[in-house]
Structure 1
Amino acid sequence: MQKGKVRVIVLGLIQSGDRIFVSECEDPVKQDTFYRALGGGIEFGEHSIDALQREFQEEIQAELTNIKYLTCLENFFVYNGQAGHELIQLYQCDFVDGKFYELESLAFADGEWVFNALWIPIERFRSGELRLVPEQFIHYCEGK
């Protein structure tokens, strides 16, 4: 995260029935677990849809299909004791390979960080049991 900079990222909303595919993250300062869709930074000169496909390929070696632009979200947050500001290009998409829908969890690395991606029922976020970030993301999940 760059201090004092707005970070432009792309996230992919992948849903299967009443579940969404997210990565489990932890804020080491707050010792708080939260969940977020997979994706990452958009590089200079790169279209957001290309960044989405690149990030899924790099992180979990997955190809995407049925990619549909949803919206742009603005997210202000504090992570690891640092203020952050993101503009998020949000896409709805599906996995090409059906094996991803059968996974219980999948460990993947992003730089020096290791994350766990998993399917979680949307209701666990809606009920407040688990925290999905950014908060407005939940409004784009089907079955509202």
Structure 2
Amino acid sequence: MTTPRIRALALCVFHHQGRILVHRFDDPVTGQTLFRPVGGGIEFGETSAQAIVREVQEELDQTVDHLRLVGTLESLFTYNNTPGHEIVQVYDGQFRDQRLYQMACLTGHESDGMAFQVTWQDSSAFTDSAPLVPEGLYPLLKNAGLLD
């Protein structure tokens, strides 16, 4: 069994015209639908902003500009029946390729090669039964004027 640890994470919402870019997925144990922005773990020796640039390049093959730290969240959660604990740096940023904002979805690839899709969603997509995660992200974005 793996020793529990706190994971440092960086996420970017790519806010555009009242929508943010999110990955929709389901908890395999509970079946609950969840939405989460693009990003991933911060590697030793890199800043959270550098992690965003690297993750977006690796997963979506895209370049990021104008990163702005929106806030920090601490997330305690259970996913796939496993407890998790993350410190999350939340960013807003822009894609260098402006055409991406007109696309309904983008296809990305995890480090293991598994494909995934991200879509542009407004606040109406996020509900109690299908929340935006990590917990506290929705109010953070609403207070920053990035979601209605």
TM-score by length of 1: 0.90
Q: Extract unaligned runs of 5+ from structure 1.
A: none
What's the counterpart of residue 121 of structure 2?
Answer: 120
Contact 1:3–1:83 at 8 Å: present in 2 too?
no
Contact 1:3–1:82 at 8 Å: present in 2 too?
no
Q: Alpha-carbon deviation of 1:30?
A: 1.1
Q: Alpha-carbon deviation of 1:37?
A: 0.4
Contact 2:106–2:118 at 8 Å: present in 1 too?
yes
Of all paired residues, the percent bearing the same amino acid is 32
CA gap 1:3/1:123 in 2 versus in 1, 3 angstroms: farther
TM-score by length of 2: 0.87
What's the counterpart of residue 11 of structure 1?
Answer: 11
* Distance in 2 separating the partners of 1:122 and 1:61: 26
**Residue pairs, 1:66-81, within 5 angstroms:** 66-81=66-81
Tell me the secondary structure at the aligned position of residue 35 of structure 1. strand
What's the counterpart of residue 82 of structure 2?
Answer: 82
CA gap 1:89/1:106 in 2 versus in 1, 3 angstroms: same
Q: Aligned pairs, how many?
A: 142
* Distance in 2 separating the partners of 1:114 and 1:138: 26
Tell me the secondary structure at the aligned position of residue 131 of structure 1. coil
Moved more, 111-120 or 65-74: 111-120
Q: Extract unaligned runs of 5+ from structure 2.
A: none
Residue identity in the other structure for 2:96? V
Contact 1:25–1:115 at 8 Å: present in 2 too?
no
CA gap 1:143/1:10 in 2 versus in 1, 3 angstroms: closer
Residue identity in the other structure for 1:16? H
Contact 2:10–2:48 at 8 Å: present in 1 too?
yes
C-alpha offsets along residues 25-63 of structure 1, whole Å, 9 cap, x if unaligned? Answer: 221111222110000000011111111100000000111
Residue identity in the other structure for 1:118? T
Contact 1:3–1:84 at 8 Å: present in 2 too?
no
RMSD between aligned residues: 1.7
* Distance in 1 separating the partners of 2:102 and 2:91: 22
Divergent runs of 4+, >6 A: none
C-alpha offsets along residues 53-92 of structure 1, whole Å, 9 cap, x if unaligned? Answer: 0000000011111111121110011111100000001111
* Distance in 2 separating the partners of 1:79 and 1:130: 14
Residue identity in the other structure for 2:39? G
* Distance in 2 separating the partners of 1:90 and 1:143: 14
